[in-house]
Amino acid sequence: MPRESDLPKIVAVNTDEGEPGTFKDREIVEQDPHQVIEGVLIAAYAIGASRAYVYIRGEFFLGVKRWIKAIADAYEAGFLGKDILGSGFNLDMSVHRGAGAYICGEETAMLESLEGKRGEPRQKPPYPASVGLFGLPTLVQNIETLACIPHIIQRGPSWFAGIGTAESKGPKIFSISGHVNRPGNYELPLGISLSDIIFGYAGGIPGGRHLKAVIPGGASTPFLRGDQVNVPMSFEGLAEAGSALGTGGIIVMDESTCIVEAVRRLSKFFAHESCGHCTPCRIGSWRIYEILERVEKGEGHSGDIDLLLDLVDGIDGHTYCPMGSALVNPVRSAIQHFRPEFEYHLTHKSCLVNGVK
Amino acid sequence: MGKVNFILDGKEIQAEKGDTILQAARRLGIYIPVLCDHPALPPEGACRICLVEIEGQRALHPSCTYPVSEGMVVETNTERIRAARKFNLELLVSDHPLDCMTCDATGDCLLQDLAYEYDVTEDRFEGTKHHYSVNDPNPFIQVDRNKCILCRRCVRACREVNGVEAISVFYRGFSAYIGFGADSSMDDSPCEFCGSCVEVCPTGALWPKQSLGQGRPWQVEKVRTTCPYCGVGCQLILEVKDNKIVKVDSAWEGPSNHGWTCVKGRFGYDFTSHADRLSHPRVRKYLLDGKKKPTASKRDPEKEANPWQWVEVDWETALGIAADRMRQIRDDHGPGSIGFLTSAKCLNEENYLMNKLARQVIGTNSIDHCARL
């Protein structure tokens, strides 16, 4: 945030949670929006903003209602509005519902959408901190981050930094879904072992089946094999294992899962959610989906695995925004870890896991 | 504006501060291929053809949006870059009708040029292609979405240059397409048919309807001229084949129009070769014979040669008769009996001369201008 700017400053709260396998923001907004409002107030006070916008995923009906109610409550209690608690500090806050596009979770696409435009990312630089909403310096933060602020202010930064690992500090909400006995949100220190979450907190795999694969940080992060779960859930730990922490949305797949089908479904999501701005994402993600669709159906062509890898290399790092390149991660890692399954689909025209396809 | 020094393909280059890499390269005549960027439009970063390598950066960056900075080292044509460009061209071609042999844009198509330059010969993805119907009912512009590469030049020309906002992108991802108004036809949108979108379209997706099938770029002679319609003086480039105008482009170097023009200049040229167009001066026969204006009862071609008949003459004769008659009217009835009406299509100089003719030669103050009607 540029200190020398005389322009009014804005806080934009990102509650457009759309990453497959991730549902922590929904829980925060539905269960405790007040701590986020407190976090927004502190953030706005810190940067000198007098206006805050909450952008929330349109499908979060209950979340929207709770946000609106919480903001109204805060106004009534004198925590929002003019001259808050006689401090001379003003902050107005309102809620804006998204219209169903994943890309609007990208910070600049979210700002475009807030301005009433088509939700597409902006060119960076300039970054939102200098030119953001309506051209004003804007602080964009996820609500999970903002929810931490009151606790850090209350208990001190060393308390917060004492949780987690040396490089990944603080607690994190992990959403775990898929083939586990107790799916849900678990707030745990960063650096906790993935296998502890799966087999401990989430109660392990149902039916005594074996763990086959895990996506550790939402659909945009690379697959891990079932034998790679003794990995700390931290930025550095997952990077070392060849994946990423992402949103902390853990998707667990047991041995009954066809990886080709899983990747096909993921690719359909990314192709569907491509905004269409740049060539590699608009056409490339669709081509990946088409190829996976034919491979999965047993109609694949002999060179399709190499073609997929070519597509992945062609897209990676060449897109307009990071989302375009996100699809690359599950596709590349799935082929890397489970190539024989793809080959089986091509040679046997059927599925290794489900037999008939 | 300050200067920025950086290294482009091993050469030390000086650019203007605030330039993008592509702008700096263009100023120096260094070629970087691009589809979506256009010098007259704000950068878009959509096509990903102008990717370049910047030292110290993992990813390739589009030169059209990346600003130059002091000491930066940029490569524009490495093997890695060429592979990335070719890949994006392959993707575009994989959803493009390969009908270049009958496409009007052949020879005037950036996608074709780049496919040739990067040796894109096949569609190796074997995926689906769009099959949009080509039926926009407007009178001027053929809209062929199958040939659209979604570079959005038309969107920017309509929004940023003309402020009309008739064109925008509808839907998302592979289903995205260029549409008009509230996703209706061009006719039902705020479109004014200035044709700027046609001018900037890099492929055959937008093409003048009256130019379809009229000739290839190498078959036409390009003639730069001034638009005859109004006093702005837009510079046009006429594409002429067999002494007939087949297409009109606007000239980027035109000092008053900077490459843009309106519906009349771009599409209103069919009068030039129309059968009804006068190409020589004509006078009534009775004037040529030096006779008085005949009364209506005498207009009987059966009885005598029609005195109202138009006779083609040279300019000297026509202007001589007009001058004589005006002088006579002024002498007989006074200068107040004559009025002048001049035109917004004339240049300032021509209107000034008309003013002189009215006030000083004839002696009347009755002169007016069609733009006041």
Q: For chain A, say whether B149 makes contact (Cβ under 8 Å).
A: yes
CB-CB contact of B203 with B105 (8 Å): yes
Q: For chain B, say whether A307 makes contact (Cβ under 8 Å).
A: yes
Asked if B46 and A277 come within 8 Å (Cβ–Cβ), the reply is yes
The minimum CA-CA distance between B48 and chain A, rounded to whole Å, is 7
What are the backbone dihedrals phi and psi of residue A234, each rounded to the nearest 5 degrees, phi first?
A: -140, 165
Could you give the count of Cα atoms lying within 13 Å of B321 in the half-sphere of its Cβ?
Answer: 18
CB-CB contact of B295 with B307 (8 Å): no
Chain B: residue nearest A313 by CA?
A: B84
From A219, A254, A289, the end of a domain falls on A254
Could you give the count of Cα atoms lying within 13 Å of A4 in the half-sphere of its Cβ?
Answer: 0
Distance spanning both ends of chain B, measured CA to CA? 47
Strand order in the sheet with B221-226: B221-226, B235-241, B244-250
The minimum CA-CA distance between B97 and chain A, rounded to whole Å, is 15
User: Residue B136 falls within a domain, yes or no?
Assistant: no
From A157, A191, A223, the end of a domain falls on A157
Backbone torsion region of residue A246, taken as left when φ is above 0, otherwise alpha when ψ lies between -120 and 50, otherwise beta: left
Chain A: residue nearest B62 by CA?
A: A318
Please check whether residues A275 and A242 belong to one and the same domain: no
Number of domains in chain A: 3
User: Residue A64 falls within a domain, yes or no?
Assistant: yes
Asked if A276 and B176 come within 8 Å (Cβ–Cβ), the reply is yes
Q: For chain B, say whether A322 makes contact (Cβ under 8 Å).
A: no
Please check whether residues A238 and A341 belong to one and the same domain: no
User: Residue B355 falls within a domain, yes or no?
Assistant: yes
Please check whether residues A282 and A245 belong to one and the same domain: no
Chain B: residue nearest A290 by CA?
A: B127
Please check whether residues B342 and B361 belong to one and the same domain: yes
Full residue range of the structural domain in which residue B17 is found: 3-77
Among A277, A279, A317, beta carbon nearest to B58: A317
Q: How far apart are CA A61 and CA A71, in angstroms?
A: 16
Buried b (16+ CB within 10 A) or exposed e, B326-360: eeeebeeeebeebebebeeebeeeebeebeeebee
Chain B: residue nearest A123 by CA?
A: B65
User: Residue A286: its chain B contacts at CB < 8 A?
Assistant: 127, 173-174
Looking up residue A316, the CATH number of its domain turns out to be 1.20.1440.230
The minimum CA-CA distance between B250 and chain A, rounded to whole Å, is 28
Number of domains in chain B: 4
Looking up residue B240, the CATH number of its domain turns out to be 2.20.25.90
Please check whether residues B12 and B23 belong to one and the same domain: yes
Among A22, A14, A54, A118, residue whose Cα is nearest residue A326: A22
Among B209, B251, B214, residue whose Cα is nearest residue B106: B214
Asked if A271 and B65 come within 8 Å (Cβ–Cβ), the reply is no
Please check whether residues A105 and A57 belong to one and the same domain: yes
Asked if B174 and A123 come within 8 Å (Cβ–Cβ), the reply is no
User: Residue A357 falls within a domain, yes or no?
Assistant: no
- Here the tokens at position A323 are 């989302």
User: Residue A128 falls within a domain, yes or no?
Assistant: yes
Angle between helices A143-155 and A24-31 (to 10 degrees): 60
- Here the tokens at position A315 are 């897209």
From B32, B47, B77, the end of a domain falls on B77
Q: What is the DSSP letter of A123?
A: P
Distance spanning both ends of chain A, measured CA to CA? 54
Could you give the count of Cα atoms lying within 13 Å of A151 in the half-sphere of its Cβ?
Answer: 14
Please check whether residues B341 and B284 belong to one and the same domain: no
pLDDT of residue A356: 44
From A193, A222, A254, the end of a domain falls on A254
- Here the tokens at position A340 are 């024989």
Chain A: residue nearest B65 by CA?
A: A123
Please check whether residues A111 and A222 belong to one and the same domain: no
Q: For chain B, say whether A321 makes contact (Cβ under 8 Å).
A: no
User: Residue B307 falls within a domain, yes or no?
Assistant: yes
Asked if B127 and A291 come within 8 Å (Cβ–Cβ), the reply is yes
Ordered DSSP codes for A46-88: HHTEEEEEEEE-TT-HHHHHHHHHHHHHHHHTTSSBSSGGGSS
- Here the tokens at position B177 are 């397409």
From B277, B293, B323, the end of a domain falls on B277
Burial class of residue A22 (count of CB atoms within 10 Å of its CB; 0-12, 13-18, 19+): buried
User: Residue B201 falls within a domain, yes or no?
Assistant: no
Distant-in-sequence, close-in-space partners of A184: CB < 8 Å, separation ≥ 6: A175, A176, A202
Full residue range of the structural domain in which residue A217 is found: 171-254
Looking up residue B37, the CATH number of its domain turns out to be 3.10.20.740
- Here the tokens at position A243 are 């994946």
User: Residue B143 falls within a domain, yes or no?
Assistant: no
Tell whether omega for the bond before B217 is within 30 degrees of 0, i.e. cis.
no
User: Residue B111 falls within a domain, yes or no?
Assistant: no
User: Residue A356 falls within a domain, yes or no?
Assistant: no
- Here the tokens at position A204 are 């392990």
Distant-in-sequence, close-in-space partners of B273: CB < 8 Å, separation ≥ 6: B244, B245
- Here the tokens at position B100 are 């270049």
Q: How far apart are CA A319 and CA B278, in angstroms?
A: 58
CB contacts < 8 A, A to B, total 96
Burial class of residue B291 (count of CB atoms within 10 Å of its CB; 0-12, 13-18, 19+): exposed
Distant-in-sequence, close-in-space partners of A21: CB < 8 Å, separation ≥ 6: A175, A177, A178, A215, A218, A219, A247, A249, A250, A251
- Here the tokens at position B68 are 């130059």
Please check whether residues A194 and A333 belong to one and the same domain: no
pLDDT tens-digit profile, chain B (373 residues) = 689 999 999 999 999 999 999 999 999 999 999 999 999 999 999 999 999 999 999 889 999 999 999 999 999 999 999 999 999 999 999 999 999 999 999 999 999 999 999 999 888 999 999 999 999 999 999 999 999 999 999 999 999 999 999 999 999 999 999 999 999 999 999 999 999 999 999 999 999 999 999 999 999 999 999 998 888 889 999 999 999 999 999 999 999 999 999 999 999 999 998 999 999 999 998 899 888 887 765 555 555 577 888 999 999 999 999 999 999 999 999 999 999 999 887 888 999 999 999 999 999 999 998 876 5
Among A174, A145, A158, residue whose Cα is nearest residue A234: A174
Asked if B150 and A282 come within 8 Å (Cβ–Cβ), the reply is yes
Q: For chain A, say whether B334 makes contact (Cβ under 8 Å).
A: no
Bridge partners for B237 per DSSP? B224, B249
Please check whether residues A129 and A207 belong to one and the same domain: no
Mutate to test the interface with B, among A272, A273, A283, A285 (most CBs of B within 10 A): A283
pLDDT of residue B371: 75
Please check whether residues A144 and A189 belong to one and the same domain: no
Asked if A314 and B95 come within 8 Å (Cβ–Cβ), the reply is no
Burial class of residue B264 (count of CB atoms within 10 Å of its CB; 0-12, 13-18, 19+): middle
From B23, B49, B77, the end of a domain falls on B77
Strands (E), A81-170: 92-97, 138-142
Asked if A290 and B84 come within 8 Å (Cβ–Cβ), the reply is no
In the block, which residue shows the tokens 């001589």? B320
Please check whether residues B307 and B295 belong to one and the same domain: yes
- Here the tokens at position B207 are 């093409």
**pLDDT under 70: residue ranges of chain A:** 355-357
Please check whether residues A238 and A189 belong to one and the same domain: yes
Asked if B173 and A285 come within 8 Å (Cβ–Cβ), the reply is yes
What torsion, rounded to 10 degrees, do the Cα atoms A348, A349, A352, A357 define? -150
User: Residue A2 falls within a domain, yes or no?
Assistant: no
Please check whether residues B73 and B13 belong to one and the same domain: yes
Maximal C-alpha separation, chain A:
74
User: Residue A1 falls within a domain, yes or no?
Assistant: no
Please check whether residues A263 and A250 belong to one and the same domain: no
User: Residue A330 falls within a domain, yes or no?
Assistant: yes
User: Residue A106: its chain B contacts at CB < 8 A?
Assistant: none
Maximal C-alpha separation, chain B:
96
Q: How far apart are CA B336 and CA B326, in angstroms?
A: 12
Please check whether residues B322 and B353 belong to one and the same domain: no
Asked if A286 and B60 come within 8 Å (Cβ–Cβ), the reply is no
What does the H/E/C string look like for chain B?
Answer: CCEEEEEECCEEEEEECCCEHHHHHHHCCCCCCCCCCCCCCCCCCCCCCCEEEECCCCCCEECCCCECCCCCEEECCCHHHHHHHHHHHHHHHHCCCCCCCCCCCCCCCHHHHHHHHCCCCCCCCCCCCCCCCCCCCCCCEEECHHHCCCCCHHHHHHHHHCCCCCEEEECCHHHCEEEECCCECCCCCCCCCCCHHHHHCCCCCEEEHHHCCCCCHHHCEEEEEECCCCCCCCEEEEEEECCEEEEEEECCCCCCCCCCCCHHHHHCCHHHHCCCCCCCCEEEHHHHCCCCCCCHHHCCCCCCCCCCCEEECCHHHHHHHHHHHHHHHHHHHCHHHCCEEECCCCCHHHHHHHHHHHHHHHCCCCEEEHHHC
How, if at all, do strands B11-16 and B3-8 pair?
Answer: antiparallel
Among B43, B91, B125, beta carbon nearest to A280: B91
Looking up residue A38, the CATH number of its domain turns out to be 3.40.50.11540
Tell whether omega for the bond before A2 is within 30 degrees of 0, i.e. cis.
no
Task: Provide the ipTM.
Answer: 0.93
* Residues 123-142 (A) with a CB less than 8 A from some CB of B: 123, 125
Please check whether residues A26 and A117 belong to one and the same domain: yes
User: Residue A273: its chain B contacts at CB < 8 A?
Assistant: 172-173
Among B94, B127, B169, beta carbon nearest to A276: B169
Please check whether residues A227 and A276 belong to one and the same domain: no
User: Residue B206 falls within a domain, yes or no?
Assistant: no
Q: How far apart are CA B167 and CA B177, in angstroms?
A: 10
User: Residue A166 falls within a domain, yes or no?
Assistant: no
User: Residue B91 falls within a domain, yes or no?
Assistant: no
CB-CB contact of B358 with B365 (8 Å): yes
Q: How far apart are CA A186 and CA A183, in angstroms?
A: 9
